[in-house]
Structure 1
Amino acid sequence: MPPESIDLRQRIIEEATRLFVSHGYHAISTRAIAEAAGVSKAGLYYHFKDKESLLLAILTANLERIAAIVQEARLKGSTAREQIAWILRAIFEQTPEQRAIIRLSSQEMAHLDPGDRAEFGRLYREEFTGQIEDILRAGVERGELRPMDVRLATWVLLGMAYPFLYSAHERELGRPQDAIELMLTIFFDGAANPDR
């Protein structure tokens, strides 16, 4: 694709993201997306076959960003706690719109074609939740954490973080770093190996 075509595709993704996050997937038409991006509907359809494929592109791009955060955390931290802290801080430091895309992915997955949904789910497990499981598993193997079902522990950890992805709760919940420290304390002190 020529550079101007890539820029246009990216502009469509950015405008669709903004609209989906602020109004919801169903409330936005392809016409509204095209208008916001400053292109014709034909221009939008040149890059995306339908609204669903645009949603999939948004979710995939966000997953790639999150996967990069996880990979960096695995390189920077030497313990499970350090690595998870790195991930949480990086996610919480994202813009409210970027954090909202994580929420969008869980809310709007049902609108994807079953094949696309299954493929995205596989990538999500491979690039995100599976990586968290690996971090926790390594913590168990090193004796930092007690033996546990790391898949379940991953979802417990993510369940604690999920409410903070809602920008509406930001004022009520105070400083993100306080929330991160409390989550880390609850999760890791509760999961710590008592023999250590």
Structure 2
Amino acid sequence: MLKKDHGLLIVLSGPAGVGKGTVCNALREVDDSIFYSVSATTRAPREGEKDGVNYFFKSEAAFKEMIANNQLLEWAKYVNHYYGTPLQYVNDTVRSGADIILEIEVQGAAKVRERYPEGVFIFLAPPDLSELRKRIEERGTENTELINERMSVAQAEIEMMAQYDYVVENDKIENAVKSIQSIVLAEHCRKERVIDHYRQFVEVK
């Protein structure tokens, strides 16, 4: 294995309902070397979600205080709620040599790209829009008006696919996980990430 002096920041993004959380959970089950960054949000917990595990659930006032104190790598307001990535945990993880994956919305991914261009940006795409709508409806957490709003936003987000390094289609979860693992392995083999380590073996004349 190649030496890892510095971990990767992997950003997994895509429209709501595409299955980002499901794919991340499946990835963690088969690969415990990738750390999962827990985001902060002002939305209410869904059934079964736990504070500090799925999200850090914050009041709007507490979230805005984090913004003012520059404690977030990125943040965005999406469908009337704030979402953001706590900065300290991300920095500590990659500096330790471990990889960390961020599961965030498209707006947040764009902000991370500005501050952390060396990250690995993966767009998780649905097989088609009808399947995406079906998945959102099956969650049973939004009314028709909100579903229509999410679908409108999703179409705009899919058009932003060109800003990403990779696109992975989430047709079957296990295939999406294998694709992400392959991307991570390939990124660790990029010459830009390893050349300085191997240059120390070459005597400069």
Higher-Rg member (1/2): 1
More helix by share: 1
If the length of structure 1 is used for normalisation, what is the TM-score?
A: 0.29
